[in-house]
Amino acid sequence: METLASLAAGFAVALTVQNLLLALLGCFLGTVMGALPGLGPSNGVAILIPLAFTLGLPATPALILLTSVYYGAMYGGRISSILLNIPGDEPAMMTTLDGFPMAQKGQVGEALAISGIASFVGAFFATWGLVFLAPQLVRVALLFGPAEYFALFVLAFAMLGGIASRSQSKAALAAALGLLISTVGVDGQTGVPRFTFGEVHFYDGIDFLVAIVGLFALSEVLIFLEKHGDDTAAAARPPKHGRVTPPLWMLARTAGSMTRSTLLGFVAGVLPGAGASLGSFLAYSFEKRVKDKDGTFGKGDARGVAAPEAGNNAAAGGALVPMLALGVPGSGTTAVLLAMLLALNITPGPLLFQNNPDVVWGLIAALFIGNVMLLLMNIPLVGLFVRVLQIPPRYLMPAVAMVSFVGIYGISGSSFDLLVMTAFGVAGWALRKLDVPLVPIILGILLGDQMEKNLRRAMTISNGDAAALYDSWLSAGLWTLAIVGFVLPLLFGRRLRARMPSRGAAPAGRK
């Protein structure tokens, strides 16, 4: 009951004209960004953070804007999957399998409608899951001391490396590089400069927003430049769609799929390191295994559209649980949302729930509101988004690059940051070519400072005795989970990843 009272208070925060307009804007922008191939939710949110920041939005409205973008992108990804057979973002990859065949059979409207409703169902119930699960996790997190937090960060990286990436060694390298970047600058504990190479600009450390926009958005532009010749997305004319209303029998037929997929997706989202791509993959595979008796999956079965969409939207909601309750994001996009919070000087975690309940519950209420807006936007207005898809990338990508420069320049007004961002863009491009995941780098940059602080605090408390790191049952448990999470997939998780479809240079920020 206490939870529901908090939620009601959250609605009071969210239901102001300004916040509603921001949610509407965020939902619209998010759907567009999700729909455009190449611009995933991580990119979208990453570009918008510096803008929201420089525009001086207070914490709650800024968060409402950006999480609306996040949810919106999850809805938008399906549009180009269905119409063009090109996933708008990585979680929408599974939707192409049945969505495009449905479109070819002339069921464009039905496919868009079913997937829109599945997205709503997944996101709606996952948000309820967030409402009830997050406070429970907060209760556990209140028991955490510095040693437990350190172990928790290790766990997050281990899961990210173990479950979500194709190569453990590359994920570990990526995480370590991120942590290293976070140590640049004046050491917070002793006040000595580290790894600054005598460059005054580095004394403040490397701004994570600069790194994120460079690694995600700019590297995307470079990838586009590199292979614009073989990209036919712009040339393809999306097929016409008729009425976007689902026949009732189709809804009845897909209801079970949506329910199962929502559950699976939510669980996948809550696990650190898994996120929406895994959510939609698991949902689709599971549905195919239990329901594909006539072999219709892959040939335009509505359940094959409903399952991955419910799954990835539910995972998007689930991924917010560890991000808000523990301050440990499990996916690329939630890492970017964490960056937003940190930029606003808000540290997520149990204290956020106690000290700034208006932020947390206002945000959650905004998710409910945004979800309804998205459903309304995505069913009758889907034609609008289809039209946006027809903007050729040769005009769109330069605009994206320039807007990201505007945001970064706006933070500091120094062109040094632009140079650092360009360097990150080039590095991100090379690392993506090398199949090194970028999300652990971002996570390392974001969490490095906290991780080191907690390690040193734990050591100060124990007077330098390393056993303090693992001698409480809670931290010992976290360490065990971390080791199991990292090692177990080495043995048999590889098969799971190998079966997941991947594109040559997968979009940045694999969720």
d(CA 267, CA 279): 8
Alpha carbon 229 to chain centroid distance? Answer: 29
Cross-strand bridge partners of residue 193 = 186
Residue 195 within binding range of other proteins, rule CB under 8 A: yes
DSSP 109-165: HHHHHHHHHHHHHHHHHHHHHHHHHHHHHHHHHTT--HHHHHHHHHHHHHHHHHHS-
Joined tokens for residue 256: 């079970």
Measured in degrees and rounded to the nearest 5, phi and psi for residue 74 equal -65, -35
The residue whose two tokens read 């996933």 is 87
AA identity, residue 131? V
Residue 397 within binding range of other proteins, rule CB under 8 A: yes
Alpha carbon 451 to chain centroid distance? Answer: 21
Binding mask 35-74 for other proteins (x = CB under 8 A): ----------------x--xx-------------------
Residue 345 within binding range of other proteins, rule CB under 8 A: no
Closest distance of CB 109 from other proteins, Å: 32
Residue 167 within binding range of other proteins, rule CB under 8 A: yes
d(CA 279, CA 164): 11
Q: Among residues 69, 117, 218, 337, which is the contact residue for other proteins, using CB under 8 A?
A: 218
Residue 455 within binding range of other proteins, rule CB under 8 A: yes
**Length of the chain, in residues:** 511
Residue 364 within binding range of other proteins, rule CB under 8 A: no
Cross-strand bridge partners of residue 186 = 193
β-pair type (193-194, 185-186) = antiparallel
Task: Judge contact between 331 and 159, C-beta under 8 A.
Answer: no
Alpha carbon 389 to chain centroid distance? Answer: 22
Residue 503 within binding range of other proteins, rule CB under 8 A: no
Q: Residue 385: in which H helix or E strand, if any? A: helix 382-388
Q: Among residues 105, 139, 228, 503, which is the contact residue for other proteins, using CB under 8 A?
A: 228
Residue 12 within binding range of other proteins, rule CB under 8 A: no
Q: Among residues 3, 105, 132, 227, which is the contact residue for other proteins, using CB under 8 A?
A: 227
Task: Judge contact between 363 and 63, C-beta under 8 A.
Answer: yes
Closest distance of CB 483 from other proteins, Å: 14
Measured in degrees and rounded to the nearest 5, phi and psi for residue 193 equal -75, 140
Residues 236-295 that bind other proteins (CB under 8 A): none
Q: Among residues 105, 139, 387, 394, which is the contact residue for other proteins, using CB under 8 A?
A: 394
Question: Residue 140 or 434: which CB sits closer to other proteins?
Answer: 434
Joined tokens for residue 187: 């050491």
Closest distance of CB 421 from other proteins, Å: 8
Binding mask 401-440 for other proteins (x = CB under 8 A): xxx-xx--xx--x-x--xx--x--xx--x---xxxx----
Residue 183 within binding range of other proteins, rule CB under 8 A: yes
Torsion angle of C-alpha atoms 88, 177, 62, 362, degrees rounded to 10: 90
Q: Among residues 1, 200, 293, 463, which is the contact residue for other proteins, using CB under 8 A?
A: 463
Residue 502 within binding range of other proteins, rule CB under 8 A: no
Residue 176 within binding range of other proteins, rule CB under 8 A: yes
The region of 118-126, 226-234, 247-255, 477-485 touching other proteins under the rule CB under 8 A is 226-234
d(CA 339, CA 337): 5
What is the size of the binding site for other proteins (CB under 8 A)?
69
Site residues (vs other proteins, CB under 8 A): 51, 54-55, 166-170, 172-173, 175-177, 179-180, 183, 187, 189-195, 197, 218, 221-222, 224-229, 392-395, 397-399, 401-403, 405-406, 409-410, 413, 415, 418-419, 422, 425-426, 429, 433-436, 451-452, 455-456, 459-460, 463-464, 504
